[in-house]
């Protein structure tokens, strides 16, 4: 009986659109899972026996060591910056996030360029002091090398989330511990670490998902993982079904991580929920301690941002005359175009689902919200496999239609830019969604309810009231999604139309062809745009009272 009453509330354009979007997101992922159990793959036996053990071993090693080191660096920096004052702390506070502006594949080939035989370190040693070094000490193209790069350029996920938590949530607990006579180390290990467990787990799971998503770095470093194996079986062996099976296996690992995160975090959320937060008052460090804190922060900043950045700028000046051409301009246009269209679609979809979810606090709407976030956990290569399978099937269904309108019955959708942009939307919808959802959360429902009590229906209310209220989060969501698409590599490499290059694919191609210097111009543009976005978010927005 309750159905009759509930129905009028659900019968609107928002519910319908949300449903459609959710189905579109689920389709590629479901395809992979279904095909995993139904399709036969010719090389699967071979892969299981000879390749899979290596993939599992490498993946586990990468995950475990990157995870541990990222926790170590991220948490310690977050604690230093929130609890103490030391020279240049205000700068480090946001500068320590900057490593996120350099995608791991770019960082990887930059470090290789710095360390190899012709790099700046070895040539200086040779030419200035005549020192010849053993190459094995300078070889970064190894699994530990990959861990080094992943850690240095992904730790900010742990750092930012933990810092936000410590700065806003922990003041009374930490101050109490101090008043109870505990020294700094005891406070850190017995209070800070346990209470920030939720935040740390949240941050490190993002790091691990990024590691699983990566294709560029592991391919360049020659460390076989699932992403590289999916590429190899799909394009090298031309065996899509095996690629699907590998993708499904990787998906199971992702799910395991997500469940692990849930269990570890328990019921603790890492975002603050109350509006009244009292910030932690930092203690002034003096003398040697102050300089130690400064040196540690500086070291991480140098390794994680400044050194690779300066090296890229240096290479850029060496090569830009050769690289900067009309063709290069088209790379920029392409990158901006896909990022703009993708981010716009993401924001529109995210708004539709977030609005639906907040109006109906039901099982259906909560599931819709979960599905929206799903894509961000799924590695790019897996989404690529799923989405092209779906698009090829759609194309085959449409062959009749193509013939009817006088076109060749070939693959139309699955060779178009449309497929790539759909993939971006699936992968990064969560970024737009989280931003917009938290915007809606902050505003609450009262304005919407007030508007409806004044006779406006849902849609009018949305355009006249809701949209104005979430303008800030809407713009944030757009910029964040824009940056992610700009940096994206695996999806773009697989799904781009023939002869369509972006800044990231071109940078990766140059680097793969051992033209590291030539890759710098495209890389530096990506790094600078991302860097500016990070500056705006963590420096400018944080200072605003609202």
Q: Which residues bind another protein (CB under 8 A)?
A: 1-2, 4-9, 361-362, 446-447, 449-457, 464-465, 468-469
Q: Smallest distance, Å, CB 152 to another protein?
A: 43
Looking at residue 424, the DSSP 8-state letter turns out to be H
The dihedrals phi and psi of 439, each to the nearest 5 degrees, come to -65, -50
Q: Smallest distance, Å, CB 364 to another protein?
A: 11
Nearer to another protein, 396 or 457 (CB): 457
Structure token pair of residue 82:
């929130």
Nearer to another protein, 8 or 406 (CB): 8
Nearer to another protein, 40 or 446 (CB): 446
The dihedrals phi and psi of 271, each to the nearest 5 degrees, come to -95, 145
CA distance 364 to 276: 32
Are 71 and 272 in contact, with CB atoms under 8 Å apart?
no
Nearer to another protein, 57 or 269 (CB): 269
Among 436, 445, 429, residue whose Cα is nearest residue 354: 436
Tokens 């071979």, located at residue: 46
Q: Smallest distance, Å, CB 276 to another protein?
A: 15
Are 163 and 82 in contact, with CB atoms under 8 Å apart?
yes
Nearer to another protein, 449 or 542 (CB): 449
List, in order, residues 6 or more apart from 160 with CB less than 8 Å away. Answer: 78, 97, 203, 538
Q: Smallest distance, Å, CB 480 to another protein?
A: 24
Q: Smallest distance, Å, CB 468 to another protein?
A: 5
SS3 268: coil
Q: Quote the radius of gyration of the chain (alpha carbons, Å).
A: 25
Nearer to another protein, 1 or 179 (CB): 1
Note the residue count of the chain.
Answer: 546
Q: Smallest distance, Å, CB 238 to another protein?
A: 51
CA 287 to chain centre: 39
Between the alpha carbon of residue 251 and those of residues 21, 29, 56, 297, 386, the distances in Å are: 21, 9, 13, 36, 11
Element (H, E) at 72: helix 52-83
CA distance 365 to 46: 43
List, in order, residues 6 or more apart from 24 with CB less than 8 Å away. Answer: 422, 426
Nearer to another protein, 158 or 458 (CB): 458
Nearer to another protein, 286 or 442 (CB): 442
CA 21 to chain centre: 21
Looking at residue 92, the DSSP 8-state letter turns out to be H
CA 416 to chain centre: 24
Nearer to another protein, 228 or 451 (CB): 451
């Amino acid at each position: 009986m309750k159905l009759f009453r509930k129905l009028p509330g659900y019968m609107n354009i928002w519910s319908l659109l949300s449903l459609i979007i959710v189905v579109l997101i689920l389709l590629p992922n479901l395809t992979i899972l279904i095909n995993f159990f139904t399709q036969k793959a010719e090389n699967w036996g071979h892969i299981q026996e000879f390749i899979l053990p290596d993939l599992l071993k490498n993946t586990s090693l990468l995950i475990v060591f990157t995870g541990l080191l990222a926790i170590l660096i991220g948490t310690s920096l977050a604690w230093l910056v929130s609890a103490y004052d030391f020279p240049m702390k205000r700068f480090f506070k946001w500068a320590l996030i900057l490593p996120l502006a350099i995608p791991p594949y770019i960082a990887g080939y930059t470090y290789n360029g710095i360390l190899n035989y012709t790099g700046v370190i070895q040539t200086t040693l040779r030419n200035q002091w005549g020192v010849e070094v053993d190459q094995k000490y300078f070889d970064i193209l190894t699994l530990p090398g990959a861990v080094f790069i992943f850690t240095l350029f992904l730790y900010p996920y742990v750092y930012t989330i933990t810092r936000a938590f410590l700065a806003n949530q922990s003041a009374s607990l930490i101050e109490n511990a101090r008043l109870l006579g505990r020294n700094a180390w005891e406070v850190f290990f017995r209070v800070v670490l346990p209470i920030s467990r939720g935040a740390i787990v949240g941050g490190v799971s993002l790091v691990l998902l990024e590691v699983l998503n990566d294709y560029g770095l592991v391919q360049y470093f020659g460390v076989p993982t699932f992403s590289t194996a999916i590429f190899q079986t799909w394009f090298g062996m031309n065996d899509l079904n095996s690629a699907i099976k590998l993708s499904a296996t990787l998906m199971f690992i992702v799910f395991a991580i997500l469940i692990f995160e849930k269990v570890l975090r328990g019921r603790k959320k890492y975002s603050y929920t109350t509006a009244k937060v009292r910030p932690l008052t930092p203690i002034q460090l003096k003398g040697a301690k102050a300089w130690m804190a400064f040196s540690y922060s500086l070291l991480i900043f140098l390794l994680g941002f400044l050194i690779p950045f300066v090296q890229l700028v240096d290479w850029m000046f060496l090569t830009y005359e050769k690289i900067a051409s009309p063709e290069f301009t088209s790379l920029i246009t392409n990158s901006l175009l896909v990022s703009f269209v993708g981010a716009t679609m993401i924001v529109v979809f995210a708004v539709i689902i977030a609005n639906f979810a907040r109006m109906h606090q039901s099982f259906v709407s909560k599931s819709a919200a979960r599905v929206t976030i799903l894509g961000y956990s799924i590695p790019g290569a897996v989404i690529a496999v799923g989405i092209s399978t779906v698009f090829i099937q759609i194309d085959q269904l449409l062959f009749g239609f193509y013939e009817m309108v006088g076109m060749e019955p070939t693959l139309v959708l699955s060779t178009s830019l449309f497929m790539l942009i759909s993939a971006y939307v699936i992968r990064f919808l969560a970024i737009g969604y989280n931003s917009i959802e938290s915007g809606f959360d902050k505003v609450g429902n009262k304005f919407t309810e007030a508007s409806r009590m004044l006779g406006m229906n849902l849609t009018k209310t949305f355009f006249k009231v809701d949209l104005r209220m979430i303008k800030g989060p809407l713009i944030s969501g757009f910029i964040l999604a824009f940056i992610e698409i700009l940096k994206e590599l695996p999806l773009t490499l697989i799904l781009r139309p023939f002869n369509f290059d972006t800044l990231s694919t071109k940078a990766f191609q140059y680097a793969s062809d051992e033209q590291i210097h030539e890759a710098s111009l495209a890389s530096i543009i990506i790094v600078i745009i991302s860097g500016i976005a990070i500056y705006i978010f963590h420096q400018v927005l944080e200072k605003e009272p609202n």
